[in-house]
Amino acid sequence: DIQMTQSPSSMSASLGDRVTITCQASQDIGNNLIWFQQKPGKSPRPMIYYATNLANGVPSRFSGSRSGSDYSLTISSLESEDMADYHCLQYKQYPRTFGGGTKLELK
Amino acid sequence: EVQLQESGPGLVKPSQSLSLTCSVTGYSITSNYWGWIRKFPGNKMEWMGYISYSGSTSYNPSLKSRISITRDTSKNQFFLQLNSVTTEDTATYYCARGGHFDYWGQGVMVTVSS
């Protein structure tokens, strides 16, 4: 199975901060990665497809990037509504595998 | 609009079977892929498997022979059965449209406890 190592597992940040979350893939997954946002009591919402493509309706402060086997989700200027859990998912190979998740909280 | 809704018991006894239904509206399950994903307490998520538009299935090997995903196309529903559950199967279970996981149900919390 492809292992997705996500970091950090939790973080606290202030409004307006630039925030970056990273997933490292244990094997080549190309750009076959999705970033999800999940708020308490809600289902996961896809934010970024194919590593870098913004999903419909997602604010432009969110972006995705790739450097080799490292994939990053960046929030350029944190807003209160961004407090949530974030997960990456690789869909290059079966079984699909998730990163361990990042809990983003307000400092 | 595509909508998915999970249903099933919220409490299952150890060694018994967990059975959930996902009802889909706004899109036919004879198109695309349809999957089950679970989220454990503590935030870890696991892809469990899918059933395809043709009825073929793919399962996470971690679940070995415990899992079965089936469907009823006449009702536009698909189903999850997980056998021989333990407390480690306690989680929130989601159904989702596979491929790009663009539509999800609201999730159903299942506790395995005697």
Q: What is the pLDDT of residues B84-106, one digit of tens each?
A: 999 999 999 999 998 789 999 99
pLDDT band (50, 70, 90) for residue B42: confident
pLDDT of residue B64 exceeding 80: no
Burial class from Cβ neighbours inside 10 Å (0-12, 13-18, 19+) for residue B63 reads middle
B36 touching chain A per CB within 8 A: no
pLDDT of residue A21 exceeding 90: yes
Q: Concatenate the DSSP letters of all residues of B35-68 into one string.
A: EEEEE-TTS-EEEEEEEETTS-EEE-GGGTTSEE
Percent of chain A with pLDDT over 70: 100
Cα→Cα distances A29→A65, A66, A91, Å: 14, 11, 8
Cα→Cα distances B84→A5, B16, B62, Å: 30, 5, 14
Please name the member of A55, A91, A101 whose beta carbon is closest to the beta carbon of B45. Answer: A101
Non-local CB neighbours of A66 within 8 Å, separated by 6+ positions: A31, A33, A51, A52, A72
pLDDT averaged over every residue in chain B = 96
Do B44 and A101 make contact, defined as CB atoms within 8 angstroms? Answer: yes
pLDDT band (50, 70, 90) for residue B19: very high
Q: Under DSSP, is residue A74 helix (H, G, I), strand (E, B) or coil? A: strand
Instruction: Return the closest-CA partner of residue A103 out of A34, A8, A2, A5.
Output: A8
Do A95 and B62 make contact, defined as CB atoms within 8 angstroms? Answer: yes
Q: Which residue of B has its CA nearest to A42?
A: B106
Please name the member of A43, A94, A96 whose beta carbon is closest to the beta carbon of B105. Answer: A43
